[in-house]
Amino acid sequence: MRLSAKADYACIAMVELAARYSAGQPVQIKSIAEAHDISPRFLVQILLQLKGAGLVASSRGAGGGYQLARRPEAISVAQIVGTIDRSPPSAMINLPQSTIVQAVREVWRELDQREQTFLEETTLAALVQRSQERELPSYQI
């Protein structure tokens, strides 16, 4: 599965929001953009798309910004990616229906299903936990 840069940035922004979820305060786009070197204008487009899908909520004003619309445990990577990247049609659609083409299509479908299952099982909470585990200092003697 190849994801667009837009989907990568969407996942990064969503994990950032998930990491700050317990604070209960909106996160400003500027803070996410600077922390991860993402264009703020591009990030606005991404977050508006995620808002339209009901994954984030926004608030205006000096203390405004974005926050998750649901708990991090209730949002999967599949929901984020599915909102940002729609699957392009396969080039194989125009090929004749030979047994070889059918066999290859079956493999691609199985691969797609395994990827989808993995992304559905991976929540924002799990990604926050992974990132926090990497931040822990290691002491070696």
Residues 31-43 pLDDT 10s: 999 999 999 999 9
The structure's pTM equals: 0.84
- Residue 100: the pLDDT is 92
- Residue 89: the pLDDT is 59
- Residue 86: the pLDDT is 76
- Residue 134: the pLDDT is 77
Token pair in block for residue 89 = 């049609």
Residue 23 to residues 20, 26, 34: CA-CA distances in angstroms? 6, 9, 20
Mean pLDDT of the region 2-28: 94
- Residue 55: the pLDDT is 98
Q: Let me know: does 49 contact 94? Beta carbons within 8 Å.
A: no
Domains in the chain (CATH in brackets) are 5-88+123-135 (1.10.10.10)
- Residue 124: the pLDDT is 97
Token pair in block for residue 132 = 């926090």
87 pLDDT higher than 80? no
1 pLDDT higher than 90? no
